[in-house]
Structure 1
Amino acid sequence: MEKQWMKVIALSAVPVDDVTAVNAGGQELAIYGVGGEVFATDNICTHGHARLCDGFLDGHEIECPLHQGKFDVRSGKAMCEPLTSDIRTYPVKVEDGCVFVEL
């Protein structure tokens, strides 16, 4: 299946230095606003079945609300125990006041 850009949220609805959830293409994504940039990852932690949008965003790291594992929202890299698997990230672009994610 070919990847395509999908409009997921208005840029004005992206929280500043925080995270929100969106549904796009049949999957739930976490959308992060960090320092004027926007990032997107899967919304479910790879360790426990917790929604990352319910976690705590500190700079570029999202902390899972269940076991306090942290991911870098730029790369998806698992930063500490108990995480053993990275999280999937998605390319993001902003056009005409809207955030698009490549799915």
Structure 2
Amino acid sequence: MSPLIDICPLEELPPGEKRLVTWEDLEIGVVNCRGEIFAIEDRCSHDDGELVEGELDEDDCAIECPRHGSRFDLRTGKPLNLPAYVPVDTFSVLVEDGVIRVEVD
């Protein structure tokens, strides 16, 4: 079983909010999109931009890289437009006893 890391209590990440967490050599963006929690690698596959600093599109549950505008689906990590064409990693999220937890592998 992959390790689970505690992120924060659910009430500390309301809809529309983002948080950056580091685990070993991974940087993970944890995002609340309309009440659903997602975890995505905080690295644009086009030029390593920090996705958590980008704009969140809550209608599409996507995040935009602030460097060149590539948007990534928070559910799948797939880019939705160029210049990025390679997906980024996503991570499973659990909410247990009111705490957001991310499964890392």
Q: Same fold (TM over 0.5)?
A: yes
Give the TM-score normalised by structure 2. 0.89
Query: How far, CA to CA, are the matches of 1:25 and 1:13 in structure 2?
Result: 23
In the alignment, the residues of structure 2 paired with residue 70 and residue 56 of structure 1 have an alpha-carbon distance, to the nearest angstrom, of: 9
Gapped runs of 5+ residues in structure 1? none
Residue 79 (structure 1) aligns with: 80
Letter in 2 for 1:19: K
Match of 1:13? 12
For 2:17 and 2:95, how far apart are their aligned partners in 1?
17
> CA shift at 1:16, angstroms?
1.8
Post-superposition, which runs of at least 4 consecutive aligned residues in structure 1 deviate over 2 A? Answer: none
Report the Cα offset of residue 24 of structure 1: 2.5
Deviation of 1:25 after TM superposition, in Å, equals 3.9
The count of corresponding residues between Structure 1 and Structure 2 is 102
Shift in CA distance, 10/25, structure 1 to aligned 2, threshold 3 Å: farther
Mind listing any 5+ residue stretches in structure 2 that lack a counterpart? none
**CA positional deviation for 1:10:** 2.2
1:72 Cα shift? 0.3
1:18 Cα deviation (Å)?
3.2
Structure 1 SS opposite 2:48: coil
Is the 1:9–1:22 contact (alpha carbons within 8 Å) kept by the matching residues of 2? no
Q: What is the DSSP-based 3-state SS (H/G/I as helix, E as strand, rest coil) of the residue aligned with 1:23? A: strand
1:80 positional shift: 0.4
Distance across 2 between alignment mates of 1:15 and 1:54 = 17
* CA RMSD after TM alignment: 1.3
Distance 1:23 1:50 in 2: 16
TM-score (norm 1): 0.90
